[in-house]
Amino acid sequence: MFSKKVNSLEELEGVAEELIAQFPKERVFAFYGKMGAGKTTFIQSICRALGSADNVTSPTFALINEYMDAKMNSIFHFDFYRINDIEEAFDLGYEDYIYSGNYCLIEWPEMIESLLPDNLVEVKIETLDNNTRMISAKTI
């Protein structure tokens, strides 16, 4: 079980590195948290920890963004908040991404819960106050 209290944005980079190190074999990470909890901000830190120099933004309308890590491997960033039907995930070809062996960082995974693979890392971000978050993670 991974659990870190984060008191500032400056701490996120180190926590992202620790999270990746804690789960070295896993590639699918599902991020749970309320709107505004900091899911995208934490994913930005994870991408930097993986060596990406790309501009990491929420794929709210595109549903998926692709970034490159330091070794030119793809990192896939999903945001399923706006899907209306699970069929949209099928239309996107989510399986090709999820089972690619590349990092897949999923915001709003509860929208496609029945499609999520086994052995993913469940990352929960809890808002404690305006500046403080509790980030916990475990393999499920």
What is the b/e burial string over 11-46, where b = at least 16 CB atoms within 10 angstroms of the residue's CB? bbeebbeebbeebeeebbbbbbbeeebbbbebbbbb
Binned at pLDDT 50, 70 and 90, residue 4 comes out as very high
CA atoms within 13 A on the CB side of 137: 23
Confidence of residue 127 (pLDDT cuts 50, 70, 90): very high
Per the structure, the complete domain to which residue 119 belongs is given by: 2-139
Summarize pLDDT for 45-91 with one digit per residue, the tens. 999 999 999 999 988 888 999 999 999 999 999 999 999 899 999 99
Long-range residue pairs from 23-26, CB within 8 A, at least 24 positions apart, any chain: 23/121, 23/137, 23/139, 26/119, 26/120, 26/121, 26/139
Residue-averaged pLDDT of the chain: 95
Query: Residue 75's pLDDT is what?
Result: 98
As a whole number, mean pLDDT of residues 5-32 equals 97
Q: 132: domain CATH number?
A: 3.40.50.300
Number of domains in the chain: 1
